[in-house]
């Protein structure tokens, strides 16, 4: 979180957006809302929608591929985890939660 906070204060749009969402999820609604309001979403959600797609692509794309386990791990069965697929499946569970919304 510390690094995200730094990117948010340095005015990196993706960092500010992600930090705002995490603050909202953590219950710090005032700070999260203030950070999202910087993107002027009330007049046009285009910027926020674009940031969402960039963050989603970043999370799922590169980071998930780098630790992809062997096919023998049955990637669709997230509850069955072993030493080879634990980290990947934890990330997949989180992304599943994110994609529902």
pLDDT in tens, 11-26: 788 888 888 888 888 8
52 in the same domain as 8: yes
Residues belonging to the chain: 101
Q: How many domains does the chain have?
A: 2
88 vs 70: CA distance, rounded Å = 11
25 vs 32: CA distance, rounded Å = 9
4 in the same domain as 51: yes
Is the residue at 75 inside a domain?
A: yes
Is the residue at 29 inside a domain?
A: yes
Confidence of residue 30 (pLDDT cuts 50, 70, 90): very high
Global confidence as pTM: 0.65
Residue range 44-90, pLDDT digits in tens: 899 899 988 888 777 766 677 778 888 889 888 888 899 999 988 88
Domain that residue 33 falls in = 1-56
46 in the same domain as 92: no
8 in the same domain as 38: yes
85 vs 74: CA distance, rounded Å = 9
100 in the same domain as 74: yes
pLDDT of residue 33: 93
DSSP state of 69: P
User: Is 64 in contact with 37 (CB distance < 8 Å)?
Assistant: no
């Amino acid at each position: 979180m510390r690094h995200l906070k730094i990117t948010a204060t340095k005015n990196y749009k993706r960092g500010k957006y992600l930090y705002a969402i995490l603050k909202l999820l953590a219950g710090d609604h005032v700070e999260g809302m203030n950070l999202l309001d910087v993107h002027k979403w009330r007049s046009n959600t285009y910027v926020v929608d674009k940031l969402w797609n960039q963050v989603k692509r970043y999370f799922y794309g590169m980071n998930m591929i780098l630790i992809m386990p062997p096919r023998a791990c049955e990637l669709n069965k997230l509850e069955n985890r072993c030493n080879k697929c634990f980290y990947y499946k934890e990330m997949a569970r989180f992304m599943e939660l994110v994609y529902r919304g």
